[in-house]
Structure 1
Amino acid sequence: MDHGFAVRKLTDFLALVRGYLDEVELASKDVGVEWPDWPQELVVGEAVVRQIVNAYSPGLGDVVRDETENDFTYWNRVRTAAAQALGMASSAEEIAAFLRPTSPVIAAGSLHPWVWEPAAPLWGAGARQDAVLAGARTLNRRLQQKLDRHDIGETDLCMQAFDLKEAQPGKPRLRFSGDRATATWRAQQEGAKYFGAGAFLAIRNVAAHEEYVDWSQQAALEHLAALSVLARWIEECTKEQA
């Protein structure tokens, strides 16, 4: 809903009603003043405003004139309904934000240090793409150091490191703790394998090979968070050699 549009229409309409009611009040006090007719713009405005008022509170805008009431009483009731809708429209965004469930917040400083420490200086300088790339590169070096492998790229290294096959000479594995006979353990290994490869392909490679990536702050932080997850897995896993 366009709350700004509603505020403008309601404000203009209330000014029209106020002007008309001033004329009516003057006519009621001075017998020499002719009772004013309803201005056309007021009647047209009421038709529009009625829909706006009902959009905020169904039925509120359905003000029906009682044959026993005068113009002053009727338009005062219309004005009251419009004023109530104006209050709703003016505060709609703030109320929606207030009523929205409180969501958790990820603090960048709580990300894994392998990722955040190299990224922090660049992030502070507003270089989000470079910050993500620095975190990914450092994570790759940590992975290489843990496995003592510098002969293949990070994507292949993740695929081999978490692979379910037994370690081979020169090809150590990373293993989560737990019962290796369970489907859960195997799923965790397989998931880490593809997650790690995907993170380096879709995050690190994009940051490295594109001259400029227009990542929002939220998107860049989510990329760092994904790398942080991978970093924690790599750190907690044990190295297993042939």
Structure 2
Amino acid sequence: MTIFSTSLSNRGKQSDIIASAYVVEQVLDRVLPRWRTEVPTDRAENVNRWCQRREAAQRADTALQRDAEVRERLGDDSPQLSAATMHPWVWSGARSLWQSGHFRDAVTAAARKVNAETQNKVGRRDVSEAALFQNVFSKDDPKPGQPRLRLRPDDGSDTFRSVHRGAATFAEGCFAGIRNPNSHEDGLPELPENEALEQLAAFSVLARWVDAATLET
């Protein structure tokens, strides 16, 4: 007797499949950040719970193999920027919203994460955002309750003053020019993905400076 079925069978133990799926999902998140919403699930749910991941993996495999070729043929072989390679504070804050296509909210969430991690590093909750960064990157000596972040030793040089003035000014621009409009103005259209990526990159630069800075108390 021959039995025909539309079901797809799985090969291997369920526990092994679940463990492998975790790794696959991390790869998919990097190669196809929106695979959870872009790869159809309606038919997959009825056939096999792993069908969506299988189709996404096939797409990712093609993307990895053909991306360089496509960019070369189109004359666009410039370096590519990936949100997943940005500072962990930025991507962990933005990730879930980014994957669902909420790019403006993702940038706002990343900004909040960078602000919170900076507060954690300096042990302050009484000041935030632009005012926080102006204070921690101040060229003045630390005071009680007001530690400083040093990107390089204070040798009295113009470079020391320039670097810390630039960091404070850059942070003010990120929060005043990016974070505030994104979160305070209603009715704004969704950000194009490439513009949102540029904004994430700005906060990633700031996050790396804070993370690498030496804390002086």
TM-score higher than 0.5: yes
Counterpart in the other structure of 1:149: 124
Secondary structure (helix, strand or coil) at the match of 2:149 reads: strand
Question: For each residue in 1:99-153, what CA deviation from the matched residue of structure 2 results, as whole angstroms up to 9, or x when unmatched?
Answer: 8463211111101010111211111101011101110111110011111111123
Following superposition of structure 1 onto structure 2, how do residues 1-242 of structure 1 map, counting pairs within 5 Å? 98=73, 100=75, 102-178=77-153, 180-214=155-189, 215-241=191-217
* Contact 2:93–2:113 (Cα < 8 Å) also in 1: yes
Counterpart-to-counterpart distance in 2, 1:101 and 1:124:
25
Q: CA RMSD in A?
A: 1.7
Q: How many residues align?
A: 145
Question: For each residue in 1:43-76, what CA deviation from the matched residue of structure 2 results, as whole angstroms up to 9, or x when unmatched?
Answer: xxxxxxxxxxxxxxxxxxxxxxxxxxxxxxxxxx
Tell me by how many angstroms 1:168 deviates.
1.1
Counterpart-to-counterpart distance in 1, 2:78 and 2:98:
23
Question: For each residue in 1:143-196, what CA deviation from the matched residue of structure 2 results, as whole angstroms up to 9, or x when unmatched?
Answer: 111111111231101111101111111111100124633322221111001001
- Identity across the alignment (%): 41
Counterpart-to-counterpart distance in 1, 2:114 and 2:74:
40
Secondary structure (helix, strand or coil) at the match of 1:239 reads: strand
The structure with the larger Rg is 1
Gap regions ≥5 residues in structure 2: 1-71
Deviating beyond 6 angstroms after TM superposition, the runs of 4 or more aligned structure 1 residues are none
The aligned amino acid for 2:98 is: W
Tell me by how many angstroms 1:203 deviates.
1.2
* Contact 1:129–1:213 (Cα < 8 Å) also in 2: no
The aligned amino acid for 2:131 is: D
Higher relative contact order structure (alpha carbons within 8 Å, sequence separation ≥ 6):
2
**TM-score, with normalisation over the residues of structure 1?**
0.56
